[in-house]
A and B are shown apart, each in its own frame.
Chain A
């Protein structure tokens, strides 16, 4: 619990790191209607595609400096020599990023969805999808950030982007399934299944990658 509090303190004080991705998401969603005709049905056609891509980009930005600062100031060395599990600390950090960035973006997703579709049930169905997908994307891009620790975050994002593509496909299919009234829950379960593997595997892999970088 103390680790959670300390990670929260660090991220809270780095306003740019948590507010930046939320603002980028907000700007994309706000700009989207301006680029198409102001007809309700036309807006809905592309809205969900833009929504998932906006979440993907925001999570990519969120993880840009998730490890690099600790790497540069020597904090990672201090963490590694402690007897505390390094994987656990990585998990905690990703959870805090998700709570501070992923959850607000999921709430915004609901608001934008409701504003665009004017369909409450459809907008509610967006909440679990965006909550789960933002957590999956954060984990994947944290992996990318660790891989490219001292080589620039763009490289890491490019490496991990192919892993995020199947999630985007499932997200797209989930909304169609909800609109047609079929298999929506199965898609949620599929995403939860992916998440359960990712939240265990990613911290372990990231801890090995960071140790290799420090060596």
Chain B
């Protein structure tokens, strides 16, 4: 399949009060490409992701996304309901009939916790449950904010392999990470 432009950012600027977070940022990504946004804390990595997602409006500039499908996003919050069991949370994510659900439940070692309330799981286990959103996604654009935080080494490798496969399937990936990972990516450095 030919690579086509998936995301175009033109002269994106964002400022909080009078403090410029970033200024005239431009980049473009084709399908099958990955962008690793790097920078110190407070440099605006998460804000840039939220601008790409359309949650936050940039002060200036334009983002164009060539996909009509839902975007796949994992942020700092896992969007899980603490008072519900894993099973119920999967139902809320609308993955209960997904053909690959069982496979990933086993890979992530969550099978024995299906009846357990999310509040009783460790942070890492909650993060794994949140990862189902990514593993069972059907979108063209994947946006991840620090996806490796809280995961054990084994799960980090599973995640890296999965993301590499997704790129081979011509999906586009944009992520931030302070943890080094082996994904072939373009780099955008925010100061």
Q: For residue B71, which residue of chain A has the nearest CB?
A: A81
Kindly list chain A residues whose C-beta atoms are within 8 Å of the C-beta of B70.
81-83
In the complex, residue of chain B having the shortest beta-carbon distance to the beta carbon of A70: B79
In the bound complex, residues from chain B placing their C-beta under 8 Å from that of A81 are 53-55, 70-71, 73
Number of interface residues of B (CB under 8 A): 25
Contact for B78 among A73, A82, A211, CB less than 8 A? A73
Digit string of A1-34 for contact with B (CB within 8 Å is 1, else 0)?
0100010011001100000000000000000000
CB of B149 within 8 A of chain A? no
- Asked if B76 and A74 make an inter-chain contact with CB atoms under 8 angstroms apart, the answer reads yes
List residues of B (41-74) whose CB comes within 8 Å of A's CBs.
Answer: 53-57, 68-71, 73
Chain B nearest CB from A123 CB (Å) reads 37
- The reply to whether A9 and B88 form a contact with Cβ atoms under 8 Å apart is yes
The interface residues of chain A lying within 8 Å CB-to-CB of B54 are: 80-81
Main DSSP-derived SS at the B contact region:
loop
Cβ–Cβ < 8 Å partners of A6 in chain B: 91-92, 94
Docked CA distance A211–B70 (Å): 17
Bound Cα distance A81, B79 (Å): 13
Whether B79 pairs with A2 at a CB distance below 8 angstroms is no
Inter-subunit contact B94/A83 (CB<8 Å): no
Report the Cα distance A129→B76, complex, angstroms. 45
Q: Find A77's partner among B57, B79, B81, B91 (CB 8 Å cutoff).
A: B79
The contact sample of 11 A-B pairs, CB cut-off 8 A, is: A2-B94, A6-B91, A6-B94, A9-B92, A14-B83, A73-B77, A73-B80, A74-B79, A77-B53, A214-B56, A215-B57
